[in-house]
Homo-oligomer: A and B are copies of this chain.
């Protein structure tokens, strides 16, 4: 008599530009799509309760969510570390606390990225065998598939073995959550050829060659977008710069195109004529499909979404947290990194 599998996700309903409504709408969509989901909606109870019916959180869904009160929210002006002192009662901290206490399997937040990282690292703690948790961006590539780029900002100066760990964690996530069988894993470098790169990346690549992983060698900046790799590992400094550059460039190009279409009546007609094609192209590149960046290597699942997330992105982020829980991504990470460490240990002693 198997117990029905229920996975419990704590959603910080107060974080993000469109909070709380887009968060509640995303929650509703996720509950409807995933019968195995239970949601803790963490936020200001007085503010949330009147919005529930309005956002469809009613009827038979009512038994599958609960409001957990949190008195404050981390604002964009607050420091990431404010959750440790001034804002202990913030929604992101309370949500993380639910995971720590075993009341939830994962936490999802669209609020202050730094605060969500601090909450996940300090409240949840680091998985055994993991040297440093890292943030993975799930980027849409030109093949219409996701490329996992990690670390994108949790760690600045990284050692080779840490970058190798990022690659392993990214590979497990890509397979378990994104459904990519045998993900092709690369280390970001400045040339495809073996031996190119910095001392750090060469050693990271060397460490990955001998382990049970589909290691495909050095990746270059262009490979983030062409679909040649499924997972690309780098230090958090490079990853953060790449992510912010790409966001700004893509947004600038899209804004420029929109400007062209708005010039006059004829160009507005042109916009109408291309609308379907533009929508299809945009859908292939829609980050909302993937919902958020997992912070990998912490105890419990943590998905950190973009502040601008809409309901669809919230739903996708919750789905990602659910799948990471179901596929036991953390158990796999612990097992893989444990094997790696025992290999390294036996090599050292042999």
Interface residues of A (CB under 8 A from B): 141-142, 153, 156-157, 188, 190, 197-199, 201, 220-226, 234, 236-238, 240-250, 252-257, 259-261, 263, 266-267, 269-271, 273-274, 277-278, 280-281, 284-285
Q: Contacting A222 at CB < 8 Å: which of B225, B244, B274, B277?
A: B244
Known: A257-B257, A281-B256. A245 touches B273 (CB 8 A): no
- With a cutoff of 8 Å between Cβ atoms, the chain B residues found around residue A243 in the complex are 221
User: In the complex, given contacts A190-B241, A201-B237, A267-B273, what are 11 additional A-B residue pairs having Cβ atoms less than 8 angstroms apart?
Assistant: A141-B252, A142-B255, A142-B256, A220-B241, A221-B245, A222-B247, A242-B245, A263-B274, A263-B277, A267-B277, A270-B270
Q: Contacting A224 at CB < 8 Å: which of B141, B248, B269?
A: B248
| A222 CA to B271 CA, complexed, in Å | 28
| A256 CA to B225 CA, complexed, in Å | 12
Q: Are A281 and B257 in contact, with the CB atoms below 8 A? A: yes
Report the minimal beta-carbon distance from A161 to chain B, rounded to whole angstroms: 18
Considering the complex, give the chain B residue whose CB is closest to the CB of A188.
B241
| A222 CA to B242 CA, complexed, in Å | 9
| A222 CA to B247 CA, complexed, in Å | 7
- With a cutoff of 8 Å between Cβ atoms, the chain B residues found around residue A190 in the complex are 153, 156, 236-237, 240-241
- With a cutoff of 8 Å between Cβ atoms, the chain B residues found around residue A256 in the complex are 142, 281, 284-285
| A197 CA to B156 CA, complexed, in Å | 7
The 3 A-B residue pairs with the shortest CB-CB distance, nearest first, are: A221-B244, A221-B245, A222-B248
Report the minimal beta-carbon distance from A188 to chain B, rounded to whole angstroms: 6
Considering the complex, give the chain B residue whose CB is closest to the CB of A278.
B260
Q: Are A198 and B237 in contact, with the CB atoms below 8 A? A: yes
Report the minimal beta-carbon distance from A266 to chain B, rounded to whole angstroms: 5
- With a cutoff of 8 Å between Cβ atoms, the chain B residues found around residue A245 in the complex are 221-222, 224-225, 242, 245-246
Q: Contacting A242 at CB < 8 Å: which of B198, B241, B285?
A: B241
| A273 CA to B269 CA, complexed, in Å | 8
Known: A247-B222, A252-B142. A157 touches B199 (CB 8 A): yes
Q: Are B247 and A249 in contact, with the CB atoms below 8 A? A: no
- With a cutoff of 8 Å between Cβ atoms, the chain B residues found around residue A244 in the complex are 220-222
Considering the complex, give the chain B residue whose CB is closest to the CB of A157.
B198
Q: Are B274 and A270 in contact, with the CB atoms below 8 A? A: yes
Considering the complex, give the chain B residue whose CB is closest to the CB of A236.
B190
- With a cutoff of 8 Å between Cβ atoms, the chain B residues found around residue A269 in the complex are 270, 273
| A280 CA to B253 CA, complexed, in Å | 13
- Can you list 14 A-B pairs, Cβ within 8 angstroms, ordered by A? A142-B255, A156-B190, A156-B198, A190-B237, A220-B241, A221-B241, A221-B245, A223-B248, A224-B248, A225-B248, A238-B241, A242-B245, A253-B285, A260-B274
Q: Are A260 and B277 in contact, with the CB atoms below 8 A? A: yes
- With a cutoff of 8 Å between Cβ atoms, the chain B residues found around residue A188 in the complex are 241
| A245 CA to B270 CA, complexed, in Å | 30
Report the minimal beta-carbon distance from A217 to chain B, rounded to whole angstroms: 15
| A247 CA to B241 CA, complexed, in Å | 15
| A157 CA to B240 CA, complexed, in Å | 18
- With a cutoff of 8 Å between Cβ atoms, the chain B residues found around residue A141 in the complex are 252
